[in-house]
Structure formats: C-alpha cells, structure tokens
Amino acid sequence: MTDARPGFVEPTRTTDLAAVRGRDKAAAIRDQLRELRARGRVPLRVWINMDTARDMFALYAAIAQFDGVLPTTIDTVPMALGSTGGQDYVIEVAGHAAGNA
C-alpha cells in the first residue's frame, strides 16, 4: 500500500509493525485535521499518548535519519505527549476536544 501524500515515504516491508502503526496513526491524525479545517474548526493542539509516541518514533526511525526527538508539529498543528483518556490521540479545538473514536 502506498500513500499519495507528497513527501511521504513508505516504510519498507522489513519495517517492524510499530512503524506501520505509527504511519497509520500519523495519517489518521492528518486526515482528521483536514476534516476539522474543512468544517471551519481550528485545531489548537494534538495530544498523543505514549503508545502512539512509540509507534511514531519507530516510523521516523525507519524512514529517515532520526535524532530521537519527535516532531513538535503535525500538519502545522503543535503536537505534544499527554493524557488522552485512553485514546491514541486527541485533537484540541476551540471549545472542546475531538478524539479519534
């Protein structure tokens, strides 16, 4: 499966499953950010849990020279490690949070 997003590098087939999960979670976050923007909502911050952070860490380590620090933004929205109420990630928007249910 390839991703049509410009600049996106597909993890190799030898990549571990954590990297694949990290790719899928990062794609889901970007997709949800675009959907929120299309509905006129302004995303303020993306909160990710520790499992999502580990998966994204594995993704970046698999596709690039990685300095061991996760990016601080995703699709121009600040991203931080924090409490997500058991979800993989939560997107904070003005007025409330939009989870990944």
CA–CA separation, 30 and 59 (whole Å)? 15
Residues 37-87: tens digit of each pLDDT: 999 999 999 999 999 999 999 998 888 777 888 889 999 999 999 989 999
CATH architecture of 17-99: 2-Layer Sandwich (3.30)
Provide the greatest CA pair distance for the chain: 43
pTM: 0.79
Q: Are 18 and 52 in contact (CB under 8 A)?
A: no
DSSP annotation of 3 reads -
